[in-house]
Copies of this chain bind each other. A is one copy, B any other.
Amino acid sequence: MSVEPLEAPQAESTAFQREEVGLATRNHGMPLEALRYDTTPAGLHYLLIHFDVPEVDAGAWRLEVRGLVSRPRSLSLGEIRDMEATTLTVTLECAGNGRAMLSPRPVSQPWGQEAIGTAAWTGVELRTVLAEAGLAADAREVVFTGLDRGIDGGLEQDYARSLTLEEATAGGPLLAYEMNGAPLPPQHGFPLRLVMPGWYGMASVKWLRSIEAVAQPFDGYQVVHAYRFRRTEDEPGVPLSRIQPRALMEPPGIPEYLSRDRFVAPGPCHVRGRAWSGWAPVARVEFSADGGASWADADLGPAAGPYAWRPWLHTWDAGPGTYELCCRATDAAGNVQPLRAEWNVGGYTNNSVQRVPVTVRPD
């Protein structure tokens, strides 16, 4: 069945719609104080669930590997667990992170900047499974289909995304069955998901039911229509892939409950955070206490691996007054976070610098 296609709706900045709040309540951001953890504890990692979390009987579940392969397979979870295991620490981020700061605001999940998380994912390398199945010479893409089904953009669909053969057979992509050393929680894709390191989260298809090698570019909704950077409704746009650089800080001091305004005691304030990029290692993080007018280099710590965020630290001498704290990441490929976002139809990849207003005053 199908419903009427939707125009991409836009909203003015001050009033959020009920549908946006509904999504914000279903989906989960990572409270930014959780930047303190090298790996994000279960339940604090961001979640974007397009449809419903599907119900899965792990005993009956199979991963179908099919299409243009010489040895189609129907793999049980036990058979996958018996294969050689790899663990990667990966920072994931939703492509829509930062959407709620655009104006006008594309109406969808209204992320501030909390759609992030880092976990240790354990599973089998995707290229191992594909090699075992034997890709045919005319295979051009690999399509990943989940068990989650619903309606998006007026089309009923299973959630599905594709990778090119080159992307799928490179090192990195993992078919993961564990998160932080425990079986995947239902909401993170139990029993098996793709983890695509360095890419925005839409590529890491959860609740996998099939992997299919195909001869033509996949034309599914989540590839052809959604998750594209488009400046107008009329242009085809550019598909999203790797994560733009971003640094975030743990907001210092204590919060006010409703506004989340921050209050800091005077004196040396150890501001810490994390930074990442899907294009290259993070090479620099800068800190500003004056809204980006002047910057100082922060100290960078080591990442837990090539796909994980780097910790950073800067000691700020906080005198009484009001401030706008900012941080900014630069990666080794020269990508720098912008001060202002570039507007786009879907509200994607807004990696403009974080701004944290704080008031410094005596206890």
A interface residues (Cβ-Cβ under 8 A, vs B): 1, 3, 6, 14-26, 28-29, 31, 33-34, 36-37, 41-45, 47, 49-53, 55, 100, 107-108, 110-112, 114, 149-152, 156, 185-188, 251, 254-261, 263, 361-363
Contact = CB atoms under 8 A, between A and B. Distances in A.
Given A24-B24, A50-B257, 16 more contacts: A1-B263, A1-B361, A1-B362, A16-B18, A19-B258, A21-B100, A25-B112, A26-B29, A26-B260, A31-B49, A31-B52, A33-B55, A41-B186, A51-B257, A151-B257, A151-B263
Given A21-B110, A112-B22, A43 B152 contact: no
A280 to B, nearest CB: 29
Contacts of A33: 52-53, 55
Nearest to A108: B258
Give the oligomeric copy count: 2
Contacts of A1: 263, 361-363
A37 to B, nearest CB: 8
Contact of A16 (B21, B107, B259): B21
Nearest to A101: B18
A112 B151 CA distance: 22
A149 B254 CA distance: 7
Contacts of A362: 1
Contacts of A110: 21, 25
A188 B44 CA distance: 10
A329 B29 CA distance: 32
Main secondary structure on chain A at its contact with chain B? loop
A148 to B, nearest CB: 9
A324 to B, nearest CB: 17
Contacts of A50: 257
Contact of A17 (B16, B100, B185, B363): B16
A327 B361 CA distance: 51
A151 B256 contact: yes
Contacts of A108: 258
Contact of A43 (B31, B42, B55, B111): B42
B55 A36 contact: yes
Given A25-B24, A112-B22, A187-B41, A255 B6 contact: no
A254 B16 contact: no
A108 B21 CA distance: 12
Contacts of A47: 43
Contacts of A263: 1, 3, 151, 156
Contacts of A361: 1
Contact of A51 (B26, B34, B151, B254): B254
Given A15-B16, A185-B44, A156 B55 contact: no
Nearest to A152: B257
A187 B21 contact: no
